[in-house]
Amino acid sequence: MNNSIGSKIAELRKKNGMTQADLAEKLGITDKAVSKWERNLSCPDITTIPRISEIFGVSVDELMQCERVEGKEGKEDGARGLVRTILRAVPLAMGVAVVVLSIMKKLDAGSAISMLGLGLACISVSSFMKDEDE
């Protein structure tokens, strides 16, 4: 599927049971302009984009990004992304801490193994999360 603003407008227009002429009338433009947008020959004027998003009930961001963000799913994906980022950052932090503290001779072998083990556990959990998403 083409991921352009023109294809997004065509998709939303059809989903809402509108013709190009219907959309053009609501926007006060010609249906030829709508046709050009949908064929990616031109783009809507910057002042028209908020009106298009209002007609279709989507945000300007959703229209411009050409993807629809669902209410709770978007928040869950955000939280899931944050957890995944943390699970990737902890092993790096543990590795750096072990190296720095070892250089400073402030770390015993048991603590180093514990810190590196925590890092490996985070990497494992992160890889399971990745497999689950696919």
Segment 98-107 long-range contacts (CB within 8 Å, at least 24 positions apart): none
- Indicate whether 52 pLDDT > 90: yes
Instruction: Give me the mean pLDDT over the 101-111 stretch.
Output: 91
pLDDT band at 65 (very low <50, low <70, confident <90, very high): confident
Model pLDDT, residue 130: 60
Q: Residue ranges per domain, the chain?
A: 5-65, 71-133
What CATH number does domain 5-65 carry, 1.10.260.40, 3.50.50.60, 2.40.30.30, 3.30.365.10?
A: 1.10.260.40
Over residues 19-48, the pLDDT tens digits come to 999 999 999 999 999 999 999 898 898 889
Judge contact between 23 and 55, C-beta under 8 A. Answer: yes
- Indicate whether 99 pLDDT > 50: yes
